[in-house]
Amino acid sequence: MLRPDIVAAGRLTIDLHKLVRNYEALGARVAPARLAAVVKANAYGLGATAVAEALETAGCRTFFVAHLSEALSLRRGLADHSEVFVLNGLAPGSEALCAEMGCIPVLNSLEQVSSWNDLGLALGQTLPAAIQLDSGMVRLGLSEEDTRQVAAAPEALAGIDLRLVMSHLACADNPAAEANHRQRRRFDEMANLLPPAPRSLSNSASALGPPAPHGDLVRAGIALYGGAALRDTPNPMQPVVRLEAAIIQVRTVPDGAGVGYGLMYTTKGVRRLATVSVGYADGWPRRLGGRGAVFVGGVRAPIVGQVSMDSMTIDVTAAPETALRPGAPVELIGEHQSLEQVAADAGAIGYEILALLGPRYTRIYCEARPRDAVTGAKS
């Protein structure tokens, strides 16, 4: 049988036990608000099905994705009583499929409210939905005028079971920003125009920041996955992700040798260089060429020259020779190098590094329950 971890670009280990610990810690912090999991973009690259199933087992009942296609693939694996909300809303023409499959749209515009309402009335049902209000981010949601229009029309919500009224903060990662207070006030004023429904405004950063009213439901993504939600603050979450690749080839290179595309790097003195099985097609940022590093045998190995599509070259002169055989593991994210360090080197954010984690990695899940803490490969 093929060993997926030695035939793939790399091995992405996802610790579901730590994921659940993060869920529980954050849940305790935001109580009595309920904690929902944002599992869009394949649960930030970690694997939406495995992540959602582990969180559902831990008691999570509400999930958010961006697109209906994501909701459809998630829906099958979850219990009927779990809710899957579609943040980007109702694409024109998708209404019947969304209703039939039991997915819940976040209605972001008057058109979406009215087409969902019309479908509910035509079916003689009230169809579940969230309504998003634009409290000041200018991304998605009803304006204040739209909200007044909905509130004033008696039939506008007659076919809708309003499960949630929500908005999103533009500056939650900076709790000191005045914009947060403005958005909170505006959200309350706008939500007060609508019929009573549970409210949701907070994401990971709000959940971890100074105490703030969370309403009824907090929508957390990055903190569950161990990423840093707040700027310039120690990250209290447990790391969930470990990313390793393999050495393909090692060579000793003389002084003055050009390395990689464009020969952008030239060796100074005799160097030991290794080629590693990950490149930008795996979501490993091209910008790390010449600035980032990986760890080999616990020793920092700088990335030299340009990152290629399927490989990159690292300087392993300082690494122990025993760690340098072909097939030996190289740590990209793990105990020596945090997600945030990689993001900083790449001029990116942790969210971006996770969301780009490519399909060529073998995803290995450490099981959530400690009793059977064996690793089993699923892909």
Ligand X SMILES: *Cc1c(COP(=O)(O)O)cnc(C)c1O
Q: Residue 202's beta-bridge partner residues?
A: 218
Q: Taking CB positions, which residue lies at the least distance from ligand X?
A: 221
Give φ, ψ of 95 to 5 degrees. -60, -50
Pick the closer one to ligand X by CB: 221 or 226: 221
The C-alpha atoms of residue 335 and residue 18 are separated, in whole angstroms, by: 14
Q: Hey, how many other C-beta atoms are within 10 angstroms of the C-beta on 111?
A: 12
Residue 221 as a binder of ligand X (CB under 6 A): the answer is: yes
Say whether 114 sits in a helix, a strand or coil. helix
* Selected range binding ligand X among 54-62, 200-208, 247-255, 270-278, rule: CB under 6 A: 200-208
Residues 6+ apart with CB under 8 A from 34: 27, 61, 62, 216, 217, 218
In residues, how long is the chain? Answer: 379
Residue 22 as a binder of ligand X (CB under 6 A): the answer is: no
Q: How far out from the chain centre does Cα 69 lie? A: 17
Residue 353 as a binder of ligand X (CB under 6 A): the answer is: no
Nearest approach in angstroms of CB 205 to ligand X is 6
Out of 12, 58, 220, 237, the residue judged to bind ligand X by CB under 6 A: 220
Strands (E), 142-205: 160-166, 199-200
Out of 16, 104, 164, 229, the residue judged to bind ligand X by CB under 6 A: 229
Integer angstrom CA distances of residue 77 from 30, 61, 366? 27, 13, 19
Q: Hey, how many other C-beta atoms are within 10 angstroms of the C-beta on 252?
A: 9
The binding track of 165-184 with respect to ligand X, each residue x by CB under 6 A or -, is ---x----------------
**CA-based max dimension of the chain:** 79
Out of 34, 184, 199, 219, the residue judged to bind ligand X by CB under 6 A: 219
Instruction: Tell me how many residues contact ligand X (CB under 6 A).
Output: 13
Nearest approach in angstroms of CB 273 to ligand X is 37
Residue 199 as a binder of ligand X (CB under 6 A): the answer is: no
Q: What is the DSSP letter of 235?
A: -
Point out the residues that are catalytic. 40, 261
Pick the closer one to ligand X by CB: 205 or 274: 205
Residue 197 as a binder of ligand X (CB under 6 A): the answer is: no
The C-alpha atoms of residue 177 and residue 198 are separated, in whole angstroms, by: 25
Q: Which of 16, 19, 55, 370 is nearest to 227 (CA)?
A: 19
* Selected range binding ligand X among 116-124, 147-155, 214-222, 285-293, rule: CB under 6 A: 214-222
Pick the closer one to ligand X by CB: 179 or 324: 179
* Selected range binding ligand X among 182-190, 216-224, 254-262, 314-322, rule: CB under 6 A: 216-224
Pick the closer one to ligand X by CB: 202 or 306: 202
The binding track of 260-279 with respect to ligand X, each residue x by CB under 6 A or -, is --------------------
Q: Please give the residue ranges that form the binding site for ligand X (CB under 6 A).
A: 38, 40, 87, 168, 203-205, 219-223, 229
